[in-house]
Amino acid sequence: MRRPLVAGNWKMHGSRAEIATLLDELMQVDSAKTTAETVVCPPFVYLQDAIRRLKESTIAVGAQSVCAEPIGAFTGEVSAAMLKDIGCRYVIVGHSERRALYHEDDHLVARKFVAAQSQKLTPILCVGETLEERESGRTEGVVARQLDAVLTVASVAAFADAVIAYEPVWAIGTGKNATPEQAQAVHAFIRGRISARDDKIAGGLRILYGGSCKASNAAEIFRMPDVDGGLVGGASLKSEEFGRICASA
Q: Tell me which residues are annotated as active site.
A: 95, 167
Residues 31-60 that bind ligand 13P (CB under 6 A): none
Nearer to ligand 13P, 115 or 231 (CB): 231
Measure the N-to-C terminal CA separation of the chain; round to a whole number of Å: 13
Triad 168, 164, 248: Cα angle to 5°? 80
CB of 164 to ligand 13P, least distance (A): 13
Give 201 or 246: the residue with its C-beta nearer to ligand 13P.
Answer: 246
Instruction: Enumerate residues 147-176 that contact ligand 13P by CB under 6 A.
Output: 167, 172-173
Q: Decide if 158 contacts 114 (C-beta within 8 A).
A: yes
Of 4, 5, 9, 245, the one binding ligand 13P (CB under 6 A) is 9
Q: Which of 189, 204, 142 is nearest to 170 (CA)?
A: 142
Q: Among all residues, whose Cβ is closest to ligand 13P?
A: 233
Pick the closest to residue 145 from 91, 205, 189 (CA basis): 189
Greatest Cα-to-Cα distance within the chain, rounded to the nearest angstrom: 48
Member of 231, 245, 246, 247 binding ligand 13P (CB under 6 A): 231
Nearer to ligand 13P, 158 or 213 (CB): 213
Q: What value does the CA radius of gyration of the chain take, rounded to a whole number of Å?
A: 17
94 in contact with ligand 13P (CB under 6 A): no
Beta carbon of residue 126, minimum distance to ligand 13P (angstroms, whole number): 7
Exposure on the CB side of residue 69, measured as CA atoms within 13 A: 8
- Supply the minimum distance, in Å, between the C-beta of residue 241 and ligand 13P: 11
Residue placing its CB nearer to ligand 13P in the complex, 210 or 243 = 210
Q: 61, 48 in Cβ contact below 8 A?
A: no
Contact letters for ligand 13P, residues 172-211 (x by CB under 6 A) = xx------------------------------------xx
Whichever of 95 and 244 has its CB closer to ligand 13P, that residue is 95
- Contact partners, residue 169, CB within 8 Å, separation at least 6: 96, 100, 128, 129, 130, 131, 211
Closest distance to ligand 13P from the beta carbon of 145 (Å) = 20
- How far, in Å, CA of 107 to CA of 149, rounded? 6
Strands 37-41 and 229-232: unpaired
Residues lying near ligand 13P in the complex (CB under 6 A) are found at 9, 95, 167, 172-173, 210-213, 231-235
